[in-house]
Amino acid sequence: GVESSSPLPPPPPPPPPLPPRRGDVVSHRWLPSDRPKRELKFALESFWDEKITAEGLQKVAAELRVSIWKQISDAGIKYIPSNTFSFYDQVLDTTAMLGAVPDRYGYSGGEIGHDIYFSMARGNATQPAMEMTKWFDTNYHFIVPELSPSMKFSYGSRKAVSEYKEAKAIGIDTVPVLIGPVSYLLLSKPAKGVEKSFTTLSLLGQILPIYKEVIAELKEAGASWIQFDEPTLVLDLSSHQLEAFSYAYSELESSLSSLNAVIQTYFADVPAEAYKTVTALSSISGFGFDLVRGSQTLELIKSYFPAGKYLFAGVVDGRNIWANDIASSLCTLQALEAIVGRDKLVVSTSCSLLHTAVDLANESQLDDEIKSWLAFAAQKIVEVNTLARALAGQKDEQYFAANAAALASRRASPRVIDEEVRKAVAGLKGSDHRRAMSVGARLEEQQKKLSLPVLPTTTIGSFPRQISEEEYERALKEEMQKVVSLQEELDIDVLVHGEPERNDMVEYFGEQLSGFALLVNGWVQSYGSRCVKPPIIFGDVGRPRPMTVSWSTAAQGMTARPMKGMLTGPSRCSTGPLSETCYQIALAIKKEVEDLEAAGIQVIQIDEAALREGLPLRKSDQPSYLAWAVHAFRITNCAVKDSTQIHTHMCYSNFNEIIPSIMEMDADVVTIENSRSDEKLLAAFGGGGAVKYGGGIGPGVYDVHSPRVPEAAEIVGRIGKMAGLLDWRLLWVNPDCGLKTRRYSEVRPALANMVAAAKLLRVDL
């Protein structure tokens, strides 16, 4: 037999090397404008104090931008954002871009300068600031645009273009980020006095021409991608609101031709209807989703994703400080790659890194074990790049192994587990913690001991601090004595110790509870130049020893009047999801409450300042959050005597939707921020709502966020209005919030006028 002489087929050529996908990556959205040491904060404040010039401020800002762009570029990131730097916030920047300046600031066209920009943010000598509110469910704030049908829009800030060019000049091609037109309008409010039928969305046709101008200039400057942030897509929107997206982006279609545009959403799942609407937009080349919060969007993508479009997959959490589980993220990405195609998948963070701390490298006081569990912004961009490289076949085995080891150590470390705390919490859950008597009966019991006049006066807690952090104990006691004497002199009924020992109301407790780690430079921007340093909860939370008792008893020893014990409630302390930790914190506070009571403190205030802030974005998620928050609060004081008066304080102006929950908390007295919001809301407490609230209520009678000192007559008017809406026998008289941001030259006359107003009214009652 003759073997076939046909030659063997040649061996297949080796597969071509994978295109390097290094940096096929991130949309980094908004980065922290500031650096770890808060250079921007200090420059801004110096500028406001006229210690540096506008040029000086610009110089600091430009250096910050360049260093951030370089850092991201060096990390291998491909889609590097620009126009994410802000002197105040990105919504205000958009207001400037659109020239949407309320009349009272005297804007008459042209490029908006610092004077008008900062007047809108902070007010000026003659005009108050615009309203500020929280950016979705974060602790970041934005200045709320005020729009009216007569608003004349004009291209008022070329910042997007100039930042793009600035980056280009150092050789970095960026993706300019704009807040999308629909979200901008949905986040705006109608100006005072406009017709009820007016909706801000009706101005869409008027702002699109400016977006077109901006896009055209960006194109001309060489931009090949533009990002539109449309985070309102994650909210419960009506079909009319959804149609606005279709309208806006079809109007922009010709402007966006020859350009790639990505629509970015974040902070929650995108509801199915919104997903359908947005993925149908033909002018858009890419869609960005938060794949960390909720799992529904992932399911939607798996069931349908438009062919040929890019997916910006937000798998690295932009809001926490924990190291990503990168093996698990890689699995998610691989599944997505099979759906959208390998060159259409972009690895990304779930949202802007503005909401996390800047760089772990600055945390000199954390030990290596805890550090290995963490990732701040600088580490998160490395995670993104590592994932992108792994997808491209360049898996960094060492990195993956170290990450797996860190996650395992976090799960198993004895430092995170406190059996005693876990047992105690298990015993607490599920039960109802109602105090024995109804709130009305309790107030009577308390009054027997406290003998307060009608319209009792009090303050929310903090007083301005006149000493530096360096002069400790002794100076603090002296400070406390001054605050106590001042309140006696002003004839306030229920006193506070002034909180001089506290840096920040959360950090202070974090320092004393076990399971918390403190950061040195872990600043996160809250608004404007204000930054906070949230503590990290890494393990079970316990209260090893009393935290505030010695301060409160010392202060009580200085006066015969009731001195409030001052605590921060569980919903403010716990930043994570509704987990075991929250109950642990509730239990730790419960111990403190009981120790304060045992030490003779008769009035204890447990601040739930941020109850509203933690409210989930979507209605369907809200009831369980509220039920939890109410339960956790009640745990803290369920065991005190009925004659001990429990106060709580809330500093959110938008509390109308949570009034029933506030009542459910069953505090004896609630003080709430009120002076900037509509007094009619208070009617709900007075009986207009489902339940008539029987507890004491102290709607703030003046605004502590303004240096203005209110006249007594003005406060009388305010209280009079409140007495019309609420039962005057239950009314308390107090400022809106703590006084720590004010000067004594403001605090003293304002409180004197407040007490005078209460006394004037008592005569008539």
Residue indicated by tokens 């505090």: 667
We find the least distance from the C-beta atom of residue 609 to ligand GLN, in angstroms, to be 4
- Is 263:288 a contact under the CB 8 Å cutoff? yes
Was 649 annotated as part of a binding site? yes
We find the least distance from the C-beta atom of residue 568 to ligand GLN, in angstroms, to be 8
Among the listed ranges 236-244, 272-280, 395-403, 648-656, the one in contact with Zn ion (CB under 5 A) is 648-656
582: alpha, beta or left? (left if phi > 0; alpha if psi -120 to 50): alpha
- Smallest CA-to-CA distance from 48 within 56, 95, 479, 537 is with 56
Q: State which H helix or E strand residue 121 sits in.
A: helix 114-122
We find the least distance from the C-beta atom of residue 463 to ligand GLN, in angstroms, to be 8
- Is 246:237 a contact under the CB 8 Å cutoff? no
Q: Which is nearer to Zn ion, 525 or 568 (CB)?
A: 568
**By the rule CB under 6 A, 606 interacts with ligand GLN:** no
Was 530 annotated as part of a binding site? yes
Residue nearest to Zn ion (CB): 651
Was 607 annotated as part of a binding site? yes
Among the listed ranges 186-194, 280-288, 416-424, 455-463, the one in contact with ligand GLN (CB under 6 A) is 455-463
Was 651 annotated as part of a binding site? yes
| Chain residues 736-755 in contact with Zn ion, contact rule CB under 5 A | 737
Question: Measured between alpha carbons, how far is 262 from 284 in angstroms, rounded to an integer?
Answer: 6
Question: Measured between alpha carbons, how far is 729 from 759 in angstroms, rounded to an integer?
Answer: 14
**By the rule CB under 5 A, 610 interacts with Zn ion:** no
**Count of residues of this chain found to bind ligand GLN when the rule CB under 6 A is applied:** 13
Sheet holding 310-316, edge to edge: 80-82, 174-179, 225-229, 260-264, 286-290, 310-316, 345-349
- 760 secondary structure, DSSP code: H
- Is 327:404 a contact under the CB 8 Å cutoff? yes
Among the listed ranges 152-160, 209-217, 437-445, 458-466, the one in contact with ligand GLN (CB under 6 A) is 458-466
Q: Which is nearer to Zn ion, 200 or 653 (CB)?
A: 653
Name, in order, each residue with C-beta under 8 angstroms of 6's C-beta and a sequence gap of 6 or more. none
Binding mask 558-597 for Zn ion (x = CB under 5 A): ----------------------------------------
Q: Which is nearer to ligand GLN, 255 or 462 (CB)?
A: 462
Q: Residue from 737, 747, 750, 751 that binds ligand GLN (CB under 6 A)?
A: 737
| Tokens standing for residue 393 | 């076949």
- Is 58:139 a contact under the CB 8 Å cutoff? no
Q: Residue from 78, 134, 740, 742 that binds ligand GLN (CB under 6 A)?
A: 740
Was 461 annotated as part of a binding site? yes
**By the rule CB under 6 A, 208 interacts with ligand GLN:** no
We find the least distance from the C-beta atom of residue 43 to ligand GLN, in angstroms, to be 26
**355 catalytic per annotation:** no
**Count of residues of this chain found to bind Zn ion when the rule CB under 5 A is applied:** 3
Q: Which is nearer to ligand GLN, 403 or 462 (CB)?
A: 462
3-state per-residue secondary structure call for 679-700 = HHHHHHHHHHCCCCCCCEEEEC
Which partner from the list Zn ion, ligand GLN, none does 740 bind, CB cut-off 5 to 8 Å by kind?
ligand GLN
Q: Kindly compute the dihedral angle of the four CA atoms of residues 603, 607, 611, 613, in this order, to the nearest 10 degrees.
A: 160
Binding mask 546-575 for ligand GLN (x = CB under 6 A): --------------------x---------
**By the rule CB under 6 A, 661 interacts with ligand GLN:** no
Q: Angle 326-340/296-303 helices, nearest 10 degrees?
A: 30
**By the rule CB under 6 A, 461 interacts with ligand GLN:** yes
Was 478 annotated as part of a binding site? no
Among the listed ranges 188-196, 340-348, 607-615, 656-664, the one in contact with Zn ion (CB under 5 A) is 607-615
Which partner from the list ligand GLN, Zn ion, none does 566 bind, CB cut-off 5 to 8 Å by kind?
ligand GLN
- Is 340:305 a contact under the CB 8 Å cutoff? yes
We find the least distance from the C-beta atom of residue 571 to ligand GLN, in angstroms, to be 12
Q: Kindly compute the dihedral angle of the four CA atoms of residues 395, 399, 405, 409, in this order, to the nearest 10 degrees.
A: -130
Question: Measured between alpha carbons, how far is 443 from 436 in angstroms, rounded to an integer?
Answer: 12
Question: Measured between alpha carbons, how far is 285 from 515 in angstroms, rounded to an integer?
Answer: 45
Was 341 annotated as part of a binding site? no
Was 745 annotated as part of a binding site? no
We find the least distance from the C-beta atom of residue 672 to Zn ion, in angstroms, to be 8
Among the listed ranges 220-228, 460-468, 629-637, 755-763, the one in contact with ligand GLN (CB under 6 A) is 460-468
Question: Measured between alpha carbons, how far is 98 from 371 in angstroms, rounded to an integer?
Answer: 43
Which partner from the list Zn ion, ligand GLN, none does 555 bind, CB cut-off 5 to 8 Å by kind?
none
Q: Which is nearer to ligand GLN, 73 or 487 (CB)?
A: 487
We find the least distance from the C-beta atom of residue 37 to ligand GLN, in angstroms, to be 25
Was 673 annotated as part of a binding site? yes
Residue indicated by tokens 């301060």: 551
Other Cβ atoms closer than 10 A to 489 = 11
Q: Which is nearer to ligand GLN, 303 or 466 (CB)?
A: 466
| Tokens standing for residue 472 | 């400790």
For residue 706, the SS3 value is coil
Among the listed ranges 444-452, 456-464, 613-621, 685-693, the one in contact with ligand GLN (CB under 6 A) is 456-464
Q: Residue from 350, 385, 462, 581 that binds ligand GLN (CB under 6 A)?
A: 462
Question: Measured between alpha carbons, how far is 531 from 523 in angstroms, rounded to an integer?
Answer: 6
Was 331 annotated as part of a binding site? no
Was 41 annotated as part of a binding site? yes
Q: State which H helix or E strand residue 648 sits in.
A: strand 645-650
Question: Measured between alpha carbons, how far is 596 from 602 in angstroms, rounded to an integer?
Answer: 8
557 exposure class (CB count in 10 Å sphere: 0-12, 13-18, 19+): exposed
**By the rule CB under 5 A, 651 interacts with Zn ion:** yes
We find the least distance from the C-beta atom of residue 500 to Zn ion, in angstroms, to be 18
Was 531 annotated as part of a binding site? yes
**By the rule CB under 6 A, 78 interacts with ligand GLN:** no
Q: Which is nearer to ligand GLN, 21 or 647 (CB)?
A: 647
Q: Which is nearer to ligand GLN, 77 or 573 (CB)?
A: 573
Question: Measured between alpha carbons, how far is 279 from 121 in angstroms, rounded to an integer?
Answer: 35
Among the listed ranges 37-45, 66-74, 615-623, 737-745, the one in contact with ligand GLN (CB under 6 A) is 737-745
Name, in order, each residue with C-beta under 8 angstroms of 537's C-beta and a sequence gap of 6 or more. 510, 515, 516, 574, 575, 576, 581
Question: Measured between alpha carbons, how far is 496 from 457 in angstroms, rounded to an integer?
Answer: 11
Question: Measured between alpha carbons, how far is 610 from 651 in angstroms, rounded to an integer?
Answer: 7
Q: Are strands 132-134 and 141-143 parallel, antiparallel or unpaired?
A: antiparallel
The distance from CA 281 to its chain's CA centroid, rounded to whole angstroms, is 30
Give the interface with ligand GLN as residue ranges (CB under 6 A). Answer: 460-462, 499, 505, 566, 607, 609, 649, 651, 737-738, 740
Judged by the rule CB under 5 A, the positions of this chain that interact with Zn ion are 609, 651, 737
Q: Which residues are annotated as a binding site?
A: 41, 139, 460-462, 499, 530-531, 607, 649, 651, 673, 737
The binding site for L-methionine comprises 460-462, 499, 607
Q: Provide the annotated active-site residues.
A: 705
Residues annotated as binding site for 5-methyltetrahydropteroyltri-L-glutamate?
41, 139, 530-531
